[in-house]
């Protein structure tokens, strides 16, 4: 299920841009700043420096387990 996988990129502040967290449903091989950070907050010459500061992680999760756990906690 594509809803159960995502790439999460945490980008710290850079120059006059505040930090930001980006999430996107992409394949594991596309889990990087260039595929996930949209729109790119910096101009072309700064993209490489900006992306080097971002930490991107591929995450898989079970939404069914999350929903069952949430219902159990609320009971």
The one-digit pLDDT tens for each residue of the chain (75 residues) are: 446 889 999 999 999 999 999 999 999 999 999 999 999 999 999 999 999 999 999 998 766 655 655 555 665
Q: Confirm whether 45 is domain-assigned.
A: yes
In this structure, how many other beta carbons lie within 10 angstroms of the beta carbon of residue 42? 17
Domain range enclosing 9: 5-60
CB 1 within 8 A of CB 65: no
If one counts the domains in the chain, the total is: 1
- Long-range contacts for 29-34 (Cβ within 8 Å, ≥24 apart)? 31/7, 31/56, 31/57, 31/58, 32/7, 32/56, 33/9
Q: Confirm whether 55 is domain-assigned.
A: yes
Q: Confirm whether 44 is domain-assigned.
A: yes
Q: Confirm whether 74 is domain-assigned.
A: no
Q: Confirm whether 28 is domain-assigned.
A: yes
Q: Confirm whether 65 is domain-assigned.
A: no
């Amino acid at each position: 299920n594509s809803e159960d996988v995502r790439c999460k990129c945490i980008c710290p502040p850079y120059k006059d841009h505040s930090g930001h967290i980006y999430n996107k449903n992409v394949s594991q091989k596309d889990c990087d700043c260039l595929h996930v950070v949209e729109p790119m907050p910096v101009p072309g010459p700064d993209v490489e420096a900006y992306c080097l500061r971002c930490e991107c992680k591929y995450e898989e999760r079970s939404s069914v387990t999350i929903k069952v756990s949430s219902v159990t906690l609320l009971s």
